[in-house]
Amino acid sequence: MSDPAIFDEEDFNSVLQTNIHDLTLYKHASQNPKAVLLGGQSGAGKTTIHRIMQRKFKGNIIIIDGDSYRTLHPNYDELLKRYGKNSVEYTQAFAGKMVEAVVEELSKRHYNLLVEGTLRTVDVPKKTANLLSSRGYDLTLAVLAVKPELSFISTLIRYEEQYYKDSSTARFTPRSHHDGIVKSIVENLRTLENYKCFNSIEVYMRDERCVYPQSCNADLSVADVMNKILFGKWSLSEYLMLISSIHYLKKLRKKNILKSKMCSLAYVAYSNSVKEYL
């Protein structure tokens, strides 16, 4: 039996060209191209920065998000049928290659780009920054600063919402994966700051406030600001957000328990991992 995760170059290039066409529709190249590399842990809410940049560029910026390319895999339906929610493991190589190919092609044409990432490592953002810089891009690193407790509960909410729509494709983010990013993001940000490969570095909150650079943080490095927000004192708004998220998570779980009748072993296993919030 052939492996549906395997794809040939002809199929990949066909999907790539269609993707390029769709992404560039109603967009135009820039004489002074700009690129935003986006970072933040799973569940941080990186679409917040999508909205900020869409307004800033008046819609003329192309968002490159690897997760959205998984469904473009030539054999996606077969992978979904065979592996269900675990199909994500079998589309990773395709999605990663698609991101690289899209960045390569669109940067040649000088489109404004927003490339989504996590800052789990520094290798990928360094590589991307070097490529774009060599092609005349003005580079910004934009990071979303969200307390780990808030971002992880957001991954749980996302799973519950996906499970209610289609339990076979709902994808749970393991706590270890989430915490691994959180553990490394501050030092990786410090490394990238010292590497000086970006024209500017910006830190945003979920409410779209830019907290770096800011005059109130003039004496702090961007890594120190990030560390302060992630692991420092909680604000009233953060407490209220956590309480609201917990209530919403409970509501979603009740709906899904009724729907599944607790017959899904995967859902039971997931439920055991979220007891601290209930």
Distance separating alpha carbons of residues 167 and 249, to the nearest angstrom:
16
Tens of pLDDT, residue by residue over 176-229, are: 999 999 999 999 999 999 999 999 999 999 999 999 986 566 678 999 999 999
Q: Is 11 a catalytic residue?
A: no
Which residue ranges form the domains of the chain, and what is each CATH number? 1-30+62-111 (no CATH), 31-61+112-277 (3.40.50.300)
- Residue 127's contacts (CB-CB under 8 Å, 6 or more residues apart) are none
On whether the CB atoms of residues 39 and 118 are closer than 8 A, the answer is: yes
How many C-beta neighbours within 10 Å does residue 254 have? 11
Q: Of residues 3, 67, 77, 166, which has the active-site annotation?
A: 67
On whether the CB atoms of residues 79 and 85 are closer than 8 A, the answer is: no
Residue whose C-alpha is closest to residue 173's, from 42, 23, 13:
42
CA atoms within 13 A on the CB side of 169: 12
How many C-beta neighbours within 10 Å does residue 125 have? 26
Residue whose C-alpha is closest to residue 66's, from 113, 93, 99, 100:
99
The per-residue pLDDT string of the chain (278 residues; one tens digit each, 9 = 90 and over) reads: 478 888 989 999 999 999 999 999 999 999 999 999 999 999 999 999 999 999 999 999 999 999 899 989 999 989 988 887 778 888 989 999 999 999 999 999 999 999 999 999 999 999 999 999 999 999 999 999 999 999 999 999 999 998 888 877 788 888 999 999 999 999 999 999 999 999 999 999 999 999 998 656 667 899 999 999 999 999 999 999 999 999 999 999 988 887 765 545 555 566 666 666 55
On whether the CB atoms of residues 83 and 171 are closer than 8 A, the answer is: no
Radius of gyration of the chain (CA): 20
